[in-house]
A and B are shown apart, each in its own frame.
Chain A
Amino acid sequence: MIRPFVTIAVFIALWWAVTAFTAIPPFMLPTPQAVAEALWGQAGYLAANAWVTFCEIMLGLFAGTLLGGLAALGIAASRTLQRWLWPILVLSQAIPVFALAPLLVLWLGFGIGSKVSMAVLVIFFPVTANFLDGLRRTEPGLLDLARTMNASRLNLLLHLRLPAALPAFASGLRIAAAIAPIGAVLGEWVGASSGLGFVMINANARIQTALMFAALVILAAMTIGLYMAVDAALRRLLRWAPGG
């Protein structure tokens, strides 16, 4: 429990040492004190924008997980969907999300919609792929047992393959929690009037580097906190799974 704090303390000490003993100008690398001052001095402004980004992330995570989960279930349940949808999903990964960001802002506007969509785009595939992998890997012995029990296809999916795939689904969800913020902030960089990404772009343009770092610190803390919360919740829910 103490290890993360030691790591952070060492990191800050190193950072401070670099700013104190090298000639790097503060507008390139502000001191830890300056960043702390920015955090404190602009707390209201940062909190308001962090809240916007947080909402975008949570909405994106929710929608992306839901859509990804349904897509995986659909592909697992229907051979037609598997033949048509799955290749499209795999191919879609060849398009860099960065390239889509300006388009989404153009189509959905400067508001929260384009950011949530970006987050959904980023997490959709990992969620679907992990879940689908789990759905396809049901223990063959269990499938045999279910066959001798005259299981219907739908019940087999709902009561056996789905719960058996939940640990794999959880892996996808953990990845999603870690990368959803990337999608949201990416959307904000391209065009927004609020959010931590907007703060960074703005501060960068005005060479308020300390403020930019402050936004970055908040974003990192938010991402780590989200990941740990999701991880803890999944561990609780999937206590039956080995190593879960």
Chain B
Amino acid sequence: MVPPGIELRGLGLRYAGAAVFSGLHLTLTAGEFFVLLGPSGAGKTSLLRIIAGLEPPDEGLVAASDGAPLAGRVSYMAQQDLLLPWASALNNVMLGATLRGQLRDAARAAALLEEVGLTHRAHARPAELSGGERQRVALARTLYEDRPVVLMDEPFSSLDAITRVRMQDLAARLLAGRTVLLITHDPFEACRLGHGFTILSGSPARLAAPTRLPGLPPRAPDEDGILHLQGELLRQLAQGGA
């Protein structure tokens, strides 16, 4: 599985005639973790849905760097965990295989649950799990799909600070080597996880020039310079990404 890079070429989207964003250009380097920030309502979720192929853009196109179509190579992790309430954690992890009518690989699903530290909860239903555990099952389900491109829409925003830091470490470790686009409102998360970031803001929204972050993710929460990076990012956010 060689992950492709992703290119957004002149993407535009309108709802009821009003432009949400237009003329978006962005290149995601293959195998890197890229972070998208921006004020509420800027169109981040809409952009992610377009890349995931869930919605067509009104203008422009999304292309993979290897020229092959992206469809079928992207997995999507939303803000809600979207676990099936009637199914066990294990069966939730294997949802993709079930829906495609493929043979389900319970051994691999169990191994993924072990990776996210939930072996002992494999047969629990989502209602019996904590918020952090549910997000870990969702992460295992995303990994079970084994797609080279992973899109994440604020997946950890509903978690407490400690759980969130743990989830970030887990995601960074398990998603390493894939092309990842992560939406977050949290500058700290962006600075810990990203190879680079950009900001979507304005009306209609535009993308700021991407900023590369020094060093390699995941950066430790107390790493020198993280605080400085965060301050820098906050300033950019406050200036509307300019």
Which chain B residues border A241 with CB–CB below 8 Å?
85-86
Q: Is the CB of A155 within 8 A of B82?
A: no
In the bound complex, what is the Cα–Cα distance between A63 and B52 (angstroms)?
A: 44
In the bound complex, what is the Cα–Cα distance between A99 and B90 (angstroms)?
A: 53
Q: Is the CB of B80 within 8 A of A163?
A: no
Q: Which of the segments B91-99, B105-113, B163-171, B193-201 contacts the partner chain?
A: B91-99
B7 within 8 A of A: no
B154 within 8 A of A: no
Q: Is the CB of A155 within 8 A of B95?
A: no
A-to-B contact residues, CB < 8 Å: 139, 141-142, 144-152, 154-156, 159-160, 163-164, 166, 240-242
Contact A149 B145, CB 8 Å, known A144-B54, A155-B101:
yes
Chain A, residue nearest B52 (CB): A148
Q: Is the CB of B99 within 8 A of A146?
A: yes
Residue among B53, B95, B99, B100 with the most chain A CB within 10 A? B99
Other A-B contacts than A142-B82, A163-B86, A240-B127, 16 sampled, CB-CB below 8 A, are A141-B78, A144-B76, A145-B78, A149-B95, A149-B96, A149-B100, A150-B72, A150-B96, A151-B99, A152-B101, A155-B101, A156-B99, A160-B99, A166-B86, A240-B125, A242-B85
Which chain B residues border A144 with CB–CB below 8 Å?
49, 52, 54, 76, 78
Q: Is the CB of A150 within 8 A of B85?
A: no
Residue among B75, B80, B84 with the most chain A CB within 10 A? B84
Which chain A residues border B101 with CB–CB below 8 Å?
152, 154-155
B74 within 8 A of A: yes
- CB within 8 A of A240: which of B75, B86, B100? B86
Which chain B residues border A142 with CB–CB below 8 Å?
82, 84
Q: Is the CB of A151 within 8 A of B100?
A: yes
What sequence of 0s and 1s flags, for each residue 44-73 of chain B, a beta carbon within 8 Å of any chain A beta carbon?
000001001110000000000000000010
Which chain A residues border B145 with CB–CB below 8 Å?
149
B-to-A contact residues, CB < 8 Å: 49, 52-54, 72, 74-76, 78, 80, 82, 84-86, 95-96, 98-101, 125, 127, 145
Q: Is the CB of A148 within 8 A of B99?
A: no
Chain A, residue nearest B145 (CB): A149
Which chain A residues border B80 with CB–CB below 8 Å?
141
Closest approach, in angstroms, between the C-beta of A153 and any C-beta of chain B? Answer: 10
- CB within 8 A of B54: which of A147, A155, A160, A163? A147
Which chain B residues border A145 with CB–CB below 8 Å?
76, 78, 82, 95
Which A-B residue pairs are the 8 nearest by beta carbons? A151-B99, A149-B96, A148-B76, A240-B86, A240-B85, A155-B99, A141-B82, A149-B99
Which chain A residues border B96 with CB–CB below 8 Å?
149-150
Which chain B residues border A151 with CB–CB below 8 Å?
99-100
In the bound complex, what is the Cα–Cα distance between A160 and B74 (angstroms)?
A: 20
In the bound complex, what is the Cα–Cα distance between A163 and B74 (angstroms)?
A: 26
- CB within 8 A of B99: which of A139, A152, A166, A240? A152
In the bound complex, what is the Cα–Cα distance between A166 and B49 (angstroms)?
A: 29
Contact A139 B82, CB 8 Å, known A149-B145, A152-B100:
yes
Residue among B86, B96, B100, B145 with the most chain A CB within 10 A? B86
Which chain A residues border B78 with CB–CB below 8 Å?
141, 144-145
Residue among A152, A156, A159, A241 with the most chain B CB within 10 A? A159
Which chain A residues border B54 with CB–CB below 8 Å?
144, 147-148
Which chain B residues border A155 with CB–CB below 8 Å?
98-101
Which chain B residues border A154 with CB–CB below 8 Å?
101
Which chain B residues border A242 with CB–CB below 8 Å?
85
Closest approach, in angstroms, between the C-beta of A234 and any C-beta of chain B? Answer: 13
Which chain A residues border B100 with CB–CB below 8 Å?
149-152, 155
